[in-house]
Chains A and B, each alone.
Chain A
Amino acid sequence: MITFILNNKTIKTSEHSGMTLLDFIRYEQRLTGTKIGCREGDCGACTILVGTLENDVIQYQSITSCISPLGNAHGKHIVSVEGTNLQNKLTAQQEAMKANYATQCGFCTPGFVVSLTGFALSNSEKNYSNALDAIGGNICRCTGYKAIEKAAHQVVSNLKDKTEDYSFNWLIENEFIPKYFATIPERLKDLEAKDINQPQGKYVSGGTDLYVQQADHLVDNSVHLIADKNYLKGISIENDVCTIGTNSTVSDLWNHSELNTCFLKLKEHLKLVSSEQIRNMASFGGNLVNASPIGDMTIFFLALNSDVVILDPEGKERKKALKHFYQGYKTYDLKDGELLKAISFKLPTMQSFFNFEKVCKRTHLDIASVNSAIYISIENNIISKAHISIGGVAAIPKYLHETSKFLTGKRLSSETILEANDLLQSEISPISDVRGTSDYKRLLARQLFFAHFMELFPKQFTLNDFVQHA
């Protein structure tokens, strides 16, 4: 039995665990405020909140229910827009939407309201930029967003007095959430959520890629949900080596304070990866085994010269360099029954620098035309180490072996970089598709390669050092 609390009601269901949470909420529970827009996690109309109890503290995250398996709700508090409603009056965030004309046709509205509620419940600092992040994955076709921005400002200003202590009292008193939220942590503790029976089907963690590609298949067949497997979770740092469990989400990385110190622009980079809803769900393992030539996190970890730890069914581990993991389009070194357990990489030192670049039609919540990452160490203006990865220009997420090798030992200068670009161009083989022509991707690959150096060494390089123009 899948057991969880949906809004203010305990659910025990024997429905298929691979069914989407969206279908369960809308059609089995007839809570129709959660809307269907795209079923791909690309519009946010089906946004719900997931409350997870850990060490007696409940944390809420927003997700898109259309690409989330019902089984992942097990033991959690699931909140749809109806579960945020007060009796006969509006919550502060609903009132903000109404007062600012932030709703027109109304179809995307519940998604925005839920995302804003998630923002109110979260531990994040209550500033406008974080509020925008919270609703960044919600698409509206009517308003042009200016009214929604005003609503977000109002919510932020209503939240500025929120007390730090993590009880719901302040939010309840100030009409952000209904009273029953206060009872949830205790009820979750009492919830008899034993392990659900896990058939040997397709491994599914967050489901953000699989449910986009094969939702019908997953609904109909057995799935092996692994999002809750603790042995696949966690980010640990030991002896300057960071190990990230493959079940960890992009948000886990986002929230990791030590890694944010090592990578000062980490959040800026991760902001380009996806919306907050997807970051809350998408696992690193999923991103790696999806093997998309353009997978953002894959490109990220390739440049960090990461290793992957692979677990066989007997529990034996083996290690493989990520740059040798991919064999061809969507194929990789993983045998039947094997599972990616973790990714590990050495933390940057004082002399090493990391940058991530991504260009797409739309800067946020889009798939890259070309993405690229660089991890470079400089000693006395000599490149002592270089790892460069690039996506969207080959059949696999590409580690630039030759270019990286070429750079190593060279002086950091525009001549070196220009020469390296020639090599880079010979290593890539972009094709024309809906994300751009091959000519464009070649040019963009060059530009992003230059951009790495302009970003990392702004005093040393400007665009003029690399390109000639009027």
Chain B
Amino acid sequence: MHKQKSNNTLDSKLEAVSMSIKQSIKNMDSFTHVRGESVYVDDINIKQGTFHGVVFDSPKAHGKIKHIDYSKAEALEGVERIFTYKDIPGANQIGGIIPDEPLFAEDEVHFWGMPIALIVAKSEFIARKARALIEIDIEELPVITTAKEAKAKGSFINAPRSFSLGDSKKAFAACAYVFKGETFSNGQEHLYIETQGAYAEPQENGNIKITSSTQGPTAVQKTIAQVLGVAMHKIEVDVTRLGGGFGGKEDQATPWAVMAALASYHLNQSVKLILNRHDDLRMTGKRHPYESSYKIGLSKDLKILAYEAEFLQNSGAAADLSPAIAERTLFHATNSYYVPNVKTTVISCKTNLPPNTAFRGFGGPQGMFVIESAIARAASEIGVSSRQIQEVNLLDENDTFSYGQIAKKVEAKNTWNSAKSIFNLETLERNVKEFNEANSTFKKGLALMPITFGISFTNTPMNHARALVHVYLDGSIGISTAAVEMGQGVNTKMMQIASDVFSVPIEKIKIETTNTTRVANTSPSAASSTADLNGKATLMACNTLLERLVKVASEDLNVSVEDIKLKAEFVYINEKKSELSWTDLVSKTMLKRVALTENAHYATPEIHFDKTKEKGHPFAYHVYGTAIITTTVDCTRGTYEFDSVKIVHDYGKSMSEGIDLGQVEGALAQGIGWMTMEEIAYNDEGRLLSNALSTYKIPDIFSVPKYVEVIPVETDGNDMAILKSKAVGEPPLMYGIGAYFALQNAIKAFNTKHQLKFHAPMTPEKVLMSLYEK
């Protein structure tokens, strides 16, 4: 990748080292991963006398609880106790943004799978047997499963939000083309392979330690304190690592940890609660389904002059993170395009589904699907290709987003044009055309998908992190941050930072578990920002320590601070190796009673957002990219394969190329899965039908694109990103949206009577029905 001198003093010192290490560094966790020695919640060596919990949940989506009989379950040998809302000493409330979600149902149930009680027994097996013995009588109430229905009945989570720019009403009048339409995008199950779980252990004085598979340890700590009616300092939350999160463990890891803590509090014994897969699928929320309507207006030369959209978000039975997710839908409603006149509204609709929650992209993908659909529709009506419309509307430097932020260091056109030229789009398109002319049983389709994604928590106060760095007497280093390792490689990135600053090998550095007693009051590991926020804090702490160490070295060697550098575990004076080793320097520093521990706090500068005006500068920066997706459809069977996905992606200056590429490829597969085979199904009674891995299919090794190529675009990076290495977790998911349009283009090549539909996912069923639609 292209090298660029940086103005940022913190970062520039490190550049030389970073470059050498970033090529070779492997995921530091992979050694224990491949040996089966990494420790997840369910792998912790449990204490003697540990009880196991199983959740008893509602067998109806909406109703009044008339009667529950626990007697048979309680009488089963091995059952210790069954906990309900009556056993809650504090508040029966776990809602994060809005306090609208009880831990256990009291008189009413609001979704199928809503927790009612926790059965605690000697084994999980006994607890599950006991669950089958509970008798419940529910008086059923009307069930709402779709957002539209909720809107019609006035069932909402909160007030709608709207963003606007220019005057869309007026602009439509001046448009050569105006199209209106509706779209639907279904939910998506996170399917972290490790299900939700927690382990609570009582400590002295009524304190409790909880090991939780959570992205948000502080949320877990705060909620447990609230439910138990105790102070936060009595609750210690520890996170070793997650077997996948993807947003599904940002808020929804909390209830299980709270339940385990509640049982532990009462029994004064350790309690383990790991959801089995069926319980997890049934009880937890997913990506929000969206029912949306749009109106798009274009000029004769295909410029999008006006865009209006109303997004109906199916929030489920409680707020959870829905309001924040709704907000991000608005932020990304125009994707990579500059539209001068915009009016977008999002309505969080309360339904009787499990509360839907964060999922990689956090409402952004749902917003982007709508404008891409509007463009596809417009293109089809006007008789041009979507690409022609996409291309002439891409963002430029200093364009204004509908929320008021001015676009800076824009790479939309750069990635688009690079993708076109590097991958030779004309040839690709010609190949598709020629193939389709020559073949009648298989058809190919191609689509381009540009992405623009804002990095930061859109709730500005959440953009902070801390790092606690210890240099031990022997020169080894321990680092604690708020970052939760869930596969994204954040541990490796933190380690790289310390290794770079101190110039010590990574073997000397340990990344500690994420623990609320070491790093408190944290934001969750989410919003793609974990490495940025925690990395900046780590960098600050390491630099402060470095300054102290260098000062000691300068005194000891009697040279000026400026002449000293640490290199390969030795002190260098004017680039010449001295006798003073890293270890000796550390012990000298200790003997001088200079602190070898530092705790740094980082808060993202510059960002702000005014919710009363819906204007501001919410993002530290944006990530850009463009994907070209090609598919082949089997027109006999309605099945399909993705031939290739070719991407030009804006990493900034990637600090770990292998790790970042893995994030792009993984997000892409998830995005394609969401758009194609992953189909959530509830029946009219609100019961989940896709309730097992046999009925909910995520991509396997045979179904991912045959060929994926990711070319990094050469950019300066961004000083707001850690070491100029841009956030990479969420943005690439949205390349997957292109899969939907590529499929539709292939269908169109077979059946000219096919009416474009914007109803994701595009399952083999929908493909076949479309191929033979008359």
Contact = CB atoms under 8 A, between A and B. Distances in A.
Interface of A: 30-40, 42-43, 45, 80-82, 85, 90, 94, 97-99, 101, 103-110, 113, 132, 135-136, 138-149, 212, 216, 219-220, 357, 359-367, 369, 433-437, 439-440, 443-444, 447-448, 450-451, 454, 462-464, 467, 469-470
Contacts of A31: 36
Contacts of A365: 700
16 contacts: A33-B36, A38-B692, A42-B694, A105-B487, A108-B243, A110-B33, A136-B700, A362-B677, A362-B699, A436-B765, A454-B636, A462-B440, A463-B440, A463-B636, A469-B772, A470-B753
Interface in B657-672: 658-659, 661-662, 665-670
A447 B635 CA distance: 9
B27 interface: yes
B32 interface: yes
A267 B272 CA distance: 44
B636 A106 contact: no
A103 B32 CA distance: 10
B34 A97 contact: yes
A348 B489 CA distance: 55
Given A33-B36, A36-B42, A444-B638, A144 B764 contact: no
Given A144-B668, A362-B703, A106 B243 contact: yes
Contact of A142 (B662, B694, B703, B751): B662
Contacts, number: 252
Contact of A146 (B26, B32, B704): B704
A10 B594 CA distance: 55
Contacts of B440: 462-464, 469
Which interface residue of A39, A109, A361 has the most chain B CB atoms within 10 A? A361
A37 B42 contact: no
A183 to B, nearest CB: 21
A144 B31 contact: no
Given A106-B29, A141-B666, 9 more contacts: A42-B692, A81-B36, A101-B658, A145-B699, A146-B708, A220-B129, A361-B765, A434-B690, A440-B765
A49 B707 CA distance: 31
Given A144-B668, A359-B639, A364-B700, A109 B769 contact: no
A444 B768 contact: yes
Contacts of A140: 193, 701
Nearest to A369: B765
B695 A443 contact: no
B665 A143 contact: yes
Contacts of A142: 244, 487, 662, 666
Contact of A361 (B191, B677, B708): B677
Nearest to B681: A434
Given A147-B662, A364-B703, A81 B35 contact: yes
A107 B192 CA distance: 9
B700 A45 contact: no
Given A30-B45, A467-B772, A470-B753, A43 B693 contact: yes
Given A104-B487, A362-B699, A141 B246 contact: yes
Contacts of A85: 35-36
B30 interface: yes
Interface string B199-227: 00000000000000000000000000000
Nearest to A82: B36
Interface of B: 26-27, 29-40, 42-43, 45, 125, 128-129, 190-195, 241-246, 274, 276-277, 440-441, 486-489, 635-639, 658-659, 661-662, 665-670, 677, 679, 681, 689-690, 692-695, 697-704, 708, 750-753, 763-765, 768-769, 771-772
B178 to A, nearest CB: 28
Given A99-B26, A108-B193, A451-B636, A94 B34 contact: yes
Contact of A109 (B33, B677, B698, B703): B33
A138 B693 CA distance: 12
B243 A362 contact: no
Main secondary structure of the interface of A (DSSP, over half): loop
Contacts of B190: 141
A101 to B, nearest CB: 4
Contact of A101 (B26, B195, B246, B697): B26
Contacts of B659: 101
Contacts of A81: 35-36
Given A40-B693, A103-B34, A366-B697, A361 B26 contact: no
A363 B681 contact: no
A144 B704 contact: yes
User: What 4 A-B pairs come out closest when comparing CB atoms?
Assistant: A33-B36, A107-B243, A105-B487, A106-B33
A395 B40 CA distance: 43
B27 A104 contact: yes
A144 B669 CA distance: 5
A143 B698 CA distance: 13
Contacts of B36: 31-34, 80-82, 85, 109-110, 113
Contacts of B701: 132, 135-136, 138, 140, 145, 148-149
B765 A37 contact: no
Nearest to B671: A144
A37 B696 CA distance: 14
Nearest to B243: A107
Contacts of B665: 143-147
Contacts of B274: 36
A90 B700 contact: no
B38 to A, nearest CB: 5
Given A104-B487, A141-B193, A437-B765, A469 B750 contact: yes
A82 B37 CA distance: 8
B532 to A, nearest CB: 19
A447 B634 CA distance: 11
Contacts of A443: 768-769, 772
B78 to A, nearest CB: 12
A361 B277 CA distance: 20
B560 to A, nearest CB: 43
A467 B703 CA distance: 27
B644 to A, nearest CB: 12
Contact of B636 (A32, A37, A101, A447): A447
Contacts of B441: 454, 462-463
B768 A141 contact: no
A38 to B, nearest CB: 4
A139 B487 contact: no
Nearest to B701: A145
Contacts of B191: 141
B193 A107 contact: yes
B277 A359 contact: no
A409 to B, nearest CB: 27
B643 to A, nearest CB: 14
Nearest to B485: A105
Nearest to B749: A470
A463 B768 CA distance: 14
A367 B694 CA distance: 7
B702 A364 contact: yes
A104 B242 CA distance: 10
Contacts of A33: 35-37
B638 A98 contact: no
Contacts of B487: 104-106, 142
B31 A359 contact: no
B768 A447 contact: yes
A182 B689 CA distance: 48
Given A101-B27, A361-B679, A366-B697, A141 B244 contact: yes
A298 to B, nearest CB: 17
A139 B45 contact: no
A365 B668 CA distance: 21
A85 B35 CA distance: 6
Contact of B128 (A43, A103, A216): A216
A82 B45 CA distance: 16
Given A32-B42, A104-B27, A363 B768 contact: no
B667 A144 contact: yes
Nearest to B704: A145
